[in-house]
Amino acid sequence: MSTRNPSLNRSLHVAPFPSRRLNRWAEVVWRVAGSVDVRTKILGMVLALTALLGLAVTLQVRTVMTRVFAEELENRGISVASDLASRSIDPILLNDTYTLHQLLRETVSNHPDALYAFVTDDHGQVLAHTFGDAGFPAGLLDSELLDAAAANTHGDIRHWVYASNEGIVHEMIAPIMAGSAGVVRLGLTENRLQTVVNTVTGQMILTTLLVALAGIVAAMILTWLLTRPILDLVATTREVGRGNLQARAPHWADDEIGTLADAFNQMVSDLDASQRAVTEKEQARFELLKKLITAQEEERKRIARELHDGVGQMLTSLMVGIRTMQRAGNAELNAGRMDELCTTAGETLEQVRTLSRELRPSLLDDLGLAAALERYTAEFAHTYRATDVDLHCDLPTRLSGPIETALYRIVQEAMTNAARHGKASVLSVLVNRRATTVQAIIEDDGAGFDVAAVRKRQSSVGIFGMNERAELLGGTLDIESGPEGTTVYVEIPL
């Protein structure tokens, strides 16, 4: 997807809601949440969850407690009022005001939520009450207020609620002997229950705060656990970026971040290996170049020596012979000399040809790889008499010049190595053409050598040269060597 407009892209990124307004909100939330670091995010999540849970539970408990307590208060009020009503009958009928008063006073003092109680006769006259000597609350005698107020009825008991200077009061009005002997009115206050609810709420909020505090500590540890390996990884990345391929990210745990650290370490380690391989190859090339230059000088020295010692000597001897013939002038004697000189000239020519062929086999250019190898094998057999060479060349057509040269030189090097270093007694050379490649296998029964060690030491320019020739043409070269001999496999694409 193309990024035509960054802001459009962002709004597309967070648009989970069908409403545009909601999406705008989501975007704002995401912008705030996205801009803070992981530590703040986790801390925020933990705090938000703790606070949410704590408040929700507190509210739930508060609501349930308030409801249960209200029900309990009502039920208790009903039972106490009904008890009072039945126990008031005798004192009222017997005109025993003192007992009635005692009954009310004891009932109120025995019930922590009871605020007051009083009994009126069937004409509304107050017979006994618990307000003491300071008079009777005028508001409670206001029958209009009572009649207008909403009330629940439980059997024959009325329950109504009013606000007062002492808080919310639940008043139970129970008729005595179905009202014929009057009514008892019992006032209950919510204050104690409200205090209990508030205490519990306070405790729960305190608990929530403590849990939130523990949550902060846990979140900090969690954040440290989560971000520490990431920060380490970042530091290691920077170190690697500065070129220190030995830097490794610590493996903290067997989780995703641990796996990431492992993968990262593997990558750095692979990078290190490949860089080392490049360095080694460069080193080998440098060595090869040095040896090539030396070899070139050696070759020049050899040619110069051969020209000087061989061809030069023979030409000198020819010149001396011709001078002698000039001075002598004796035809008969000269005839014999002439034969000698001819032989010397022939030998000289032969030496020049050998020299020339050694420098570059013209057969390779003229007749191709198969012929060149046959010729080389014949010469090889002449040079290394202890080694039997078996050559099989299956090349129906000529190959390209570079491939023929490369294969010729590789086979030449391998055969020389087998005879010179391996002291092989049997050497088999197989060259054949396949559909898309040409393959050469040089096998001997020589002493063998440690291929890896030799390659690592870069001591053998020969082996490195063979490798380079094959790789330059996109081919491969493998060497297998053991006590029972050495095999060199070469495969070059056509």
Partner 1 sequence: MIKFALGLCLLMLVACTPAQTGVLPYIDLSVRTPLPQAAPAELAHLRVGVAAILSPQGTVASYSHLAEHLAEKLGRPVDLVQRRTYAELNDMVEESQVELAFICTNAYVVGSEQFGMELLLAPEINGKSVYYSRLIVPADSAAQSMDDLRNKVFAFTDPMSFTGRIYPVYLLQQMGQTPERFFQRTFYTYSHDRAIEAVADGVADGAAVDSLVLDHALQRNPELAARIRIIHTSEAFGIPPVVVPPTLPPRQKAQLRDLLSSMHEDAAGKEVLLELGIDRFVAIDNAAYDGVRAIVHATGIGE
Q: Which C-beta is closer to partner 1: that of 12 or that of 28?
A: 28
Answer yes or no whether residue 166 interacts with partner 1 by CB under 8 A.
yes
CB atoms within 10 A of CB 367: 14
Distance in Å, CB of 210 to partner 1, minimum: 18
Q: Is 220 in the site for partner 1 (CB under 8 A)?
A: no
Question: Judged by CB, which is closer to partner 1: 40, or 383?
Answer: 40
Helix (H, G, I), strand (E, B) or coil at 159: strand
Q: Does 95 bind partner 1 (CB under 8 A)?
A: yes
Task: Measure Cα distances from 417 to 33, 387, 460, 461, 466 in Å.
Answer: 72, 12, 10, 12, 12
Name the one residue in this structure whose structure tokens are 């020299």: 355
Cα of 147 vs its chain's centroid, Å: 78
Return the residue of 165, 246, 397, 436 that touches partner 1, per CB under 8 A: 165
Nearer CB in complex with partner 1: 96/287: 96
Cβ neighbourhood burial of 254 (10 Å; 0-12, 13-18, 19+): exposed
Which ranges of 384-460 would DSSP assign to H, the alpha helix? 401-420, 451-457
- Does 19 contact partner 1 by CB under 8 A? no
If you compute the radius of gyration of the chain from its CA atoms, what whole number of angstroms results? 58
Q: How many residues bind partner 1 (CB under 8 A)?
A: 54
Q: Please say whether the beta carbons of 188 and 169 come within 8 A.
A: yes
Q: What residues from 113 to 142 belong to the interface with partner 1 (CB under 8 A)? A: 115-116, 123, 125-126, 131, 134-142
CB of 109 to partner 1, least distance (A): 17
Among 8, 59, 320, 335, binds partner 1 (CB under 8 A): 59
Q: Which stretch binds partner 1 (CB under 8 A): 50-58, 245-253, 294-302, 433-441?
A: 50-58
Question: Is 164 near partner 1 (CB under 8 A)?
Answer: yes
How many C-beta neighbours within 10 Å does residue 324 have?
Answer: 13
Eight-class DSSP state of 228: H
Task: Count CA atoms closer than 13 A to 422's CA, side-chain side.
Answer: 29
**Identity of the residue, 82 or 412, whose beta carbon is nearer to partner 1 in the bound complex:** 82
For the bound state, the minimum distance from the C-beta of residue 150 to partner 1, rounded and expressed in Å, comes to: 7
66 is a site residue for partner 1 (CB under 8 A): yes
- Is 371 a binding residue for partner 1 by CB under 8 A? The answer is no
39 binds partner 1 (CB under 8 A): no
User: Which residue type is seen at 95?
Assistant: N
Phi, psi of 161 (to 5 degrees): -125, 135
Does 267 contact partner 1 by CB under 8 A?
A: no
As measured in angstroms, the least distance from the Cβ of 235 to partner 1 is 29
- Please tell me the distance from the alpha carbon of residue 168 to that of residue 171, in angstroms, as a whole number: 10
Residue 243 binding partner 1, by CB under 8 A: no
**Cβ 122 to partner 1 shortest distance, Å:** 11
Count how many Cα atoms sit within 13 Å of the Cα of residue 320 in the half-sphere of its side chain: 8
38 touching partner 1, by CB under 8 A: no
Nearest residue (CB) to partner 1, 94 versus 335: 94
Q: Does 67 bind partner 1 (CB under 8 A)?
A: yes
Pick the closest to residue 52 from 226, 215, 179, 186 (CA basis). Answer: 215
**CA separation for the pair 235, 240 (Å, rounded):** 9
Nearer to partner 1, 119 or 373 (CB): 119
In whole angstroms, give the CA distance from residue 252 to residue 229: 6
Return the number of the residue (139 or 474) whose C-beta is nearest partner 1: 139
Using CB under 8 A, pick the residue from 14, 15, 42, 161 that binds partner 1: 161
The CB-of-471 to partner 1 minimum distance in angstroms stands at 60
Q: Which helix (H) or strand (E) holds 299?
A: helix 256-305
DSSP state of 306: I
Closer residue to partner 1, CB minimum distance, 52 or 235: 52
Q: Which of 93, 292, 293, 322 binds partner 1 (CB under 8 A)?
A: 93
Contact criterion met (CB below 8 Å) for 431 and 438:
yes
Binding of partner 1 at residue 51 (CB under 8 A)? yes
Beta carbon nearer to partner 1, 134 or 435: 134
HSE at residue 467, side-chain half, CA atoms within 13 A, is 15
Q: Coil, strand or helix: which one is 88?
A: helix
Q: Does the footprint of partner 1 cover residue 44 (CB under 8 A)? A: yes
CA distance 80 to 184: 10
Region binding partner 1 by CB under 8 A among candidate stretches 65-73, 231-239, 431-439, 445-453: 65-73
62 lines the binding site for partner 1 (CB under 8 A): yes
DSSP bridge partners of 485: 482
Q: Which of 16, 21, 35, 148 binds partner 1 (CB under 8 A)?
A: 148
Burial group, residue 242, by CB count within 10 angstroms (0-12, 13-18, 19+)? exposed
Given a contact cutoff of 8 angstroms between Cβ atoms, the answer to whether 253 and 229 are in contact is: yes
Residue 274 is a binding residue for partner 1 (CB under 8 A): no
Using CB under 8 A as the criterion, which residues of the chain lie in contact with partner 1 when the complex forms?
29, 32-33, 44-45, 47-48, 51-52, 55-56, 59-60, 62-63, 66-67, 70, 89-90, 93-96, 115-116, 123, 125-126, 131, 134-142, 145, 148-150, 161-166, 168-169, 177, 180-181
